[in-house]
Structure 1
Amino acid sequence: MHHKGIRTRLKVDQSLMIAPLLDIMFLVLLFFMLNTSEGNIHSFDVDIPQAHQPENRYPMEQLVVIIRSAEMGYTINDDFVAEVDFIPTLKEKIRVLGVKQILLLASESADYGRVMRIMDAMKQAGASGVSLGVENVE
């Protein structure tokens, strides 16, 4: 007797068998290891030019202000300036050089409040923009 309405399904195993894949990967690895010859590796010497550090690292047409944690003043284009003289000195440098963009370099250990105060002082001196630079200034 046949039942027309009843069907049985065969369960198909959907799992992925890893062992044959590992065998194939091992064989491919072995194939490439054996076929890759170390051969003659040629090398040649290259003369790399050495960079030199000029005495004045910053161009004179650019204003660079450096804040070091150990000093109480600031450095403007390699000239040390006391904190009380900062704004008048910076105004004079801006007038002489005709540059209103300033690059500010501060040491990692410089006080955040001090950096913010000097940025405000730069704006008071007439700077139109202040860029923060990353450089080891200690």
Structure 2
Amino acid sequence: MRRSSLLSQQQDDTEVNLTPMLDVVFILLIFFIVTTSFVRESGIEVDAPQASTAEVQAQASILIAITPDGDIWVDRQPVSLAALGPAVARLQAAQPQSGVVIQADKASRSGRLVEVMDRLRQAGVDRIALAAQP
């Protein structure tokens, strides 16, 4: 009888306590969520032209895409040229320190790119960059 009580007591002592391990896993999960940077996309695939002097823009969070057909996309939504200025002004009001990056497909017309840049300047955007592949 005494022997069986000692065996049951030893079995209770040999169980692994998983609580500290779960705490560490949750702390690591929170760390990775907080430190992850999310890539913003314009909503469509654009084949950007290559440039040997391309530089990374750290503060650019408003992306405008121009398709080969001349369609304009802002914040994953197609936008007409007339509505481009107010749409970008609204996005820049929410993030005043952000710049604008135009992702023009290399098959798109340069005239459409100039029209987009002109509308952005009329809307008060002064920090405009063009996307290119290094």
5+ residue gaps, structure 2, are: 1-37, 43-57
Separation of aligned partners in 2, 1:119 and 1:108 = 16
- Point out the structure with the larger helix share: 2
> How much identity, in percent, do the aligned residues show?
15
C-alpha contact 2:100 2:129 (8 A) present in aligned 1: yes
Aligned residues: 81
**Normalising by structure 1, what TM-score?**
0.50
C-alpha contact 2:70 2:112 (8 A) present in aligned 1: no
Q: CA deviation at 1:57?
A: 3.5
Which of 117, 120, 125 aligns to 2:118? It is 120
CA distance 1:55–1:101, change in 2 (3 Å): closer
Which of 80, 99, 117 aligns to 1:82? It is 80
What is the CA deviation profile of residues 76-108 of structure 1, one whole-angstrom value per residue up to 9, with x for unaligned ones? 132221222111111111112224521111001
Greater relative CO (CA pairs within 8 A, separation 6+): 2
Separation of aligned partners in 2, 1:100 and 1:112 = 24
Separation of aligned partners in 2, 1:107 and 1:57 = 14
5+ residue gaps, structure 1, are: 1-53
CA distance 1:129–1:56, change in 2 (3 Å): closer
CA distance 1:128–1:56, change in 2 (3 Å): closer
* Runs of 4+ displaced beyond 6 Å: none
